[in-house]
C-alpha cells in the first residue's frame, strides 16, 4: 500500500527522507520520480542525512553520473539519469552498484531497463511553490498464480 505524505517545505521533505533512510538495507534502490524541480534531489539530501553521511555536497550530479556519499551507515549512491538515453543508462551498470555496502537513489528511473523487484518508489508531485505530495511505496515481487 502506498503511503502519501503532504510536505509543506523542503525541510519537511528531508525529514520524510531521513525517516525512510533508517529503514534501508544494503542493496535497496530508491526510484525518484517527479517533474523538474519537484524535490528529488532534496529528498536524496534527506536520505544522506538519515544515513549519517555528510550532506553538504549533495547536488544534482551534473558532471558525474553517479555520486557516492560515504561516512554513513550505508554508502549512498546517487544517479541522475535525466540527460541519458536508455542505452546510455544501461551502460552505467547500475544494477551492480550498492549490493553489498550501499543503497542507490535514482532520479529519472524511467531511463532504466531493469529495476529491483523490491525497489522503493518515491513519487513527488508539485502542488504549489512550497507544497508537495510524496508517495512512498515498496514494490513487491508478484507471485505466480499457483504459488498459493
**Site residues, ligand ATP (CB under 6 A):** 7-10, 12-13, 34, 36-42, 60, 80, 82, 107, 130-132
Q: Return the residue of 9, 23, 60, 62 that touches Mg ion, per CB under 5 A.
A: 60
Angle at 116 between CA 114 and CA 117, to 5 degrees: 110
Q: How far is the CB of 56 from ligand ATP (least distance, A)?
A: 15
Distance CA(11)–CA(63), nearest Å, equals: 26
Segment contacting Mg ion by CB under 5 A, of 24-32, 55-63, 93-101, 138-146:
55-63
List Cβ neighbours of 21 (8 Å cut-off, separation of 6 or more): 46, 47, 48, 49, 50, 51
Interacting residue with Mg ion among 7, 31, 38, 40 (CB under 5 A): 40
Amino acid at each position: 500500500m502506498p503511503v502519501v505524505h503532504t510536505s509543506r517545505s523542503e525541510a519537511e521533505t528531508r525529514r520524510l527522507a531521513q525517516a525512510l533512510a533508517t529503514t534501508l538495507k544494503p542493496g535497496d534502490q530508491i526510484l525518484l520520480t517527479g517533474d523538474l524541480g519537484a524535490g528529488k534531489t532534496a529528498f536524496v539530501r534527506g536520505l544522506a542525512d538519515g544515513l549519517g553521511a555528510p550532506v553538504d555536497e549533495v547536488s544534482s550530479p551534473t558532471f558525474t553520473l553517479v555520486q557516492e556519499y560515504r561516512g554513513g551507515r550505508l554508502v549512498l549512491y546517487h544517479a541522475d539519469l535525466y540527460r541519458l538515453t536508455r542505452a546510455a543508462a544501461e551502460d552505467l551498470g547500475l544494477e551492480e552498484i550498492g549490493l553489498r555496502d550501499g543503497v542507490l537513489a535514482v532520479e529519472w528511473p524511467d531511463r532504466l531497463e531493469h529495476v529491483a523487484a523490491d525497489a522503493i518508489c518515491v513519487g513527488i508531485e508539485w502542488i504549489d511553490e512550497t507544497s508537495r505530495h510524496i508517495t512512498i511505496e515498496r514494490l513487491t515481487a508478484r507471485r505466480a498464480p499457483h504459488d498459493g
